């Protein structure tokens, strides 16, 4: 297993959930994180993500803030769902529309990192791996 920096990783495989309504983004992130040696699941909508969260334990969830049309903030619900289940799981929210108020609320709900789109995959991976490996 390789880390983002290319070094070997011998720790147990972490399980990641990626949630985004953009199919191409999901595919790209799945491929990238699977290539780093993580077990990756993905979901396109809130209820699909919640069904996965109800059946599997994830070490990291990367979710888009908006999963439906204009004004959606489903990502906040995902942060709450993760935090209610696991205190030490990590959550990253991605958003192209995040206001300071929403960002603040995401942290209040237990989000670990709020990233503003667009972000290069390497940048997202750097934050993700850092959260997983170093807490």
Partner 1 sequence: MKEHSALDALLAPGGIRPRYQPLYALTNGDPHLFAFECLSRGPQGTNFERAPVLFEYVRLKRQEAMVDRLCIATALEQLPPMPPETKVCVNVHASTLARDSGFIDFLSRANEKAGLHPARIIVDVVQHAPSHDGDGFALAVTRLRNLGVAIALDDIGVGASNFKMMLDVGPDYMKVDRCIVNGCHGDAKRRAVIESLVQLASRLHSEVVAEGVETDDDLVVVQSLGVKIVQGFLLAHPLEGKLAACSSSASSAA
Chain contacts with partner 1 (rule: CB under 8 A): 21-23, 41-45, 47-48, 50-52, 54-55
Contacts of 112 (CB under 8 A, 6+ apart): 90, 91, 92, 131
> For residue 86, which phi and psi values (nearest 5 degrees)?
-135, 120
Q: Residue-wise over 67-102: b if at least 16 C-beta within 10 A, else e?
A: beeeebbbbbbbbbbbbeebeebbbbbbbeebeeeb
Nearer to partner 1, 3 or 21 (CB): 21
**Distance in Å, CB of 135 to partner 1, minimum:** 28
Nearer to partner 1, 41 or 59 (CB): 41
Nearer to partner 1, 9 or 33 (CB): 33
Nearer to partner 1, 41 or 112 (CB): 41
Q: Cα separation of 7 and 91, whole Å?
A: 24
Which tokens go with 30?
């799945």
Nearer to partner 1, 40 or 91 (CB): 40
**Distance in Å, CB of 52 to partner 1, minimum:** 6
**Distance in Å, CB of 54 to partner 1, minimum:** 5
**Distance in Å, CB of 48 to partner 1, minimum:** 5
**Distance in Å, CB of 121 to partner 1, minimum:** 19
Which tokens go with 97?
């529309």
């Amino acid at each position: 297993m390789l880390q983002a920096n290319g070094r070997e990783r011998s720790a147990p495989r972490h399980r990641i959930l990626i949630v985004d309504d953009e199919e191409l983004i999901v595919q790209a992130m799945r491929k990238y994180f699977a290539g780093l040696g993580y077990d990756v699941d993905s979901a396109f909508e809130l209820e699909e993500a919640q069904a996965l969260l109800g059946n599997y334990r994830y070490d990291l969830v990367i979710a888009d803030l908006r999963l439906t049309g204009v004004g959606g903030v489903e990502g906040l619900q995902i942060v709450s769902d993760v935090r209610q289940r696991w205190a030490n799981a990590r959550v990253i929210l991605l958003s192209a529309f995040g206001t300071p108020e929403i960002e603040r609320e995401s942290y209040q709900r237990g989000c670990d990192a709020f990233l503003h789109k667009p972000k290069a995959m390497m940048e997202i991976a750097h934050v993700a791996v850092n959260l997983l490996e170093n807490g």
